[in-house]
Structure 1
């Protein structure tokens, strides 16, 4: 039988069928498969962190331009938020905003996990491969977990603003110099810094526990969101010292990368993203 060119209506129906099938797979992937699919957490050592960082550097060197282009939006968004904060008298939130980037880091690195996965499988990774996650059945679960981290980031900013209002506020500082002097030389400033650091550590710990291996696990295996999060918490509980050290490394790296107008994040985020994939491979059996 001769083949004929399909009309627009048939194209539309085929597209709707494909989209519906993808949506059903995505919704099904968000659920939990139960105890049978629960991955096992391995025991980690500090050597695993070192090897993961070394492998992350190798991945970054292999696909440097693609990885840097992929996360270019990260410092751009950060600079835009900082400029907005200055114009809206939200100066006290600049530091919490920069440090809060560690909460959103796993979301920004989703495409990097895919690139590391393809390189591990022997393929030549490209930045376009990062968008393969959109076609993945796990995309819905990844999106939900990303929204959770975004909500955690917003709640952290609200908490930081409340701490400022109870110490140096509620009036906005007159200038950057006066704000820095108040933080460093007054009792209220020290209280704000200590309280903010303590509360920020709680938010960072919550984000670490929920997302340590969740994103790469969702991309690598057919597990539901509850299983991925439970596995991440299990890895943290089994390796508290190693995981906390990893969290400190991530936070310190983002702080250092933020100093030159957030430009360093173009390098820091890809290296940490690739390294997270390799840490996941070592942490989950």
Structure 2
């Protein structure tokens, strides 16, 4: 029964989300709103994304041994495959800001109290599996063309990729296969994760809603996919540091894209209760540095 709840949601007879038709102008507006969200809480968003530059530095260090050199591009491109799941906290921040709540970076973890948290985890696991398959396929494509012998140096690797027939085959086949993986993830998840943050639905319903949204807006969603890919590429070029800005902006923008594509649900969103906690400055760093001073309410004698 628990598995059925995760896949189908708590109420399988609930009306399906209604899909709207949107245009390219809506993408621009979603990006504008997403950047506005990021501008309103930049310290919180950047703090959450520090993991991306750290991962980039780890990858750069690993390349010094050249063993992982052929996987550098697949690993970097693979960020796009898990990005919809990694940005889940930004959907929550935009949702709370949209409702007029005061927000801090800790609120990004309110998805842990979402009624669809198990479905979010299940769909996130699916993206991680897709990412692992992509890395395995990319490695197989490289081995099929160059064998198991690692590159002797970075210049040698660049020469064999760009100046040999095997390298040209690797570029063409690798990009085509990667494109298929990216399209699959876009279709499955572009609306699914924001929907799971917003409503109590199952993973299957979320994926089906995403499929219907893409089917109703194929050109617009294709354009969105190219925008995401271009921004992620631009953010990855300076040793991945640009992702600290690109990922939160795209995360916030995806929420507003969801709002444009799916008509709002007027029924209240159930919440898992949380125990109130006293403010802990160490846990709220660096947000506490920028927050206004809070005064304790006066006590009556």
Q: Distance in 2 between the 1:74 and 1:266 partners?
A: 7
Give the alignment partner of residue 257 of structure 1, picking from 222, 231, 235.
235
CA contact (8 A) 1:164 1:192 kept: yes
8 Å Cα contact 1:213/1:280 also seen in 2: yes
- Of residues 183, 188, 209 in structure 2, which corresponds to 1:205? 183
**1:143 aligned partner:** 121
Tell me the distance in 2 between the aligned counterparts of 1:82 and 1:150: 22
Judge conservation of contact 1:85–1:93 (CA < 8 Å) in 2.
Answer: no
Which residue does the alignment assign to 2:205? 227
Q: Which residue of 2 aligns with 1:15?
A: none
RMSD (CA atoms): 1.8
Quote the Cα distance in structure 1 between the aligned partners of 2:60 and 2:79.
12
Tell whether 2:1 aligns with 1:41. no
**CA shift for structure 1 position 182:** 1.3
- Structure 1 contact 27–140 (Cα < 8 Å) conserved: no
Change (3 A) 1:27 1:87: farther
Q: Does 1:186 align with 2:186?
A: no
Residue in 1 that maps onto 2:267: none
Which residue of structure 2 aligns with residue 169 of structure 1? 147
Deviation at 1:74, TM superposition (A): 2.2
Counterparts of 2:175 and 2:133, CA distance in 1: 15
Residue number in structure 2 paired with 1:195:
173
Deviation of the 1:283 alpha carbon: 0.8
**8 Å CA contact 2:49, 2:247 repeated in 1:** yes
C-alpha separation in 1, matches of 2:108 and 2:158 = 40
Number of equivalenced pairs:
262
Matched with 1:129 is 107
SS in 1 for 2:94: helix
1:216 to 189, 194, 197: 194
Residue 271 of structure 2: aligned partner: none
Work out whether residues 187 and 211 of structure 2, in 8 Å CA contact, stay in contact via their aligned partners in 1. yes
Alignment of 1:46-61 (within 5 A): 46-61=24-39
Sort the Cα spacing of 1:78 and 1:149 in 2 relative to 1 into closer, same or farther, 3 A: farther
Corresponding residue of 1:116: 94
- What TM-score, normalized by structure 1, do the two folds share? 0.87
- The alpha-carbon deviation at position 83 of structure 1 amounts to 2.8
Aligned-residue offset at 1:53: 0.3
Structure 2, unaligned stretches of length 5 or more? 264-301
- Name structure 1 gaps, 5 residues minimum: 1-23
Aligned match for 1:63, one of 31, 35, 41: 41
Distance 2:67 2:80 in 1: 23
1:13 is aligned to none
Q: 1:27-77: per-residue Cα shift (whole Å, max 9, x none)? A: 735424436432121111001100000000100000000011011112212
Greater fraction of residues in helix: 1
Structure 1 Cα separation of the partners of residues 166 and 26 of structure 2: 41
TM-score (normalizing by structure 2): 0.83
Instruction: Establish whether residue 72 from structure 1 lines up as the match of residue 53 from structure 2.
Output: no
Which of 106, 111, 133 is equivalent to 2:84?
106
Shift of 1:236: 0.8
Determine if contact 1:104/1:153 at 8 Å carries over to the other structure: yes
